[in-house]
Amino acid sequence: MKTLQEDIDDLDRMIDAGAAKDAVRSQIRLISREVAALQTDYTSLAQAHSELHDGLEERISKLQEKDKRELRQWFDEQAKKHTNLRESYTLKHDV
C-alpha cells in the first residue's frame, strides 16, 4: 500500500506529464479518500486515548486513596503497639 506522500508525488508527476484531466481528478479523489480515512482514524484514536487517560486517572486516584488508608492503618497499629509496650513497662500501683 502506498503512503499518502507517494500518492501526492504521483499526482505531481501526472500534472508535470500533462495527464488527462480525468486521471488527475481520479488521483485527487483517491487522496481525498485517504485523508478522510486518516481523519476518521485520528478521531477514533483521540477518543480512545481520552477514555484510556480518564480511566487511568480514576484508577490512580483510587490506588492513592487505598495507599493512604493502608498507611494510616499501619501507623495506627504501630501507635497501639507502642502504647501497649509502654504500658507493659509502666509500674501499676493501686491508689
pLDDT of residue 93: 59
Would you give per-residue pLDDT tens digits along the chain (95 residues)? 789 999 999 999 999 999 999 999 999 999 999 999 999 999 999 999 999 999 999 999 999 999 999 999 999 999 999 998 888 877 665 55
Residue with cell 500500500: 1
Tally of CB atoms within 10 A around 27:
19
Closest residue by Cα to residue 24 from 14, 32, 33? 14
pLDDT of residue 95: 52
Is-contact 14 24, C-beta < 8 A? yes
Exposure on the CB side of residue 4, measured as CA atoms within 13 A: 10
Which cell numbers hold the place of 34?
485517504
Domain spans, the chain: 4-88
pLDDT of residue 88: 82
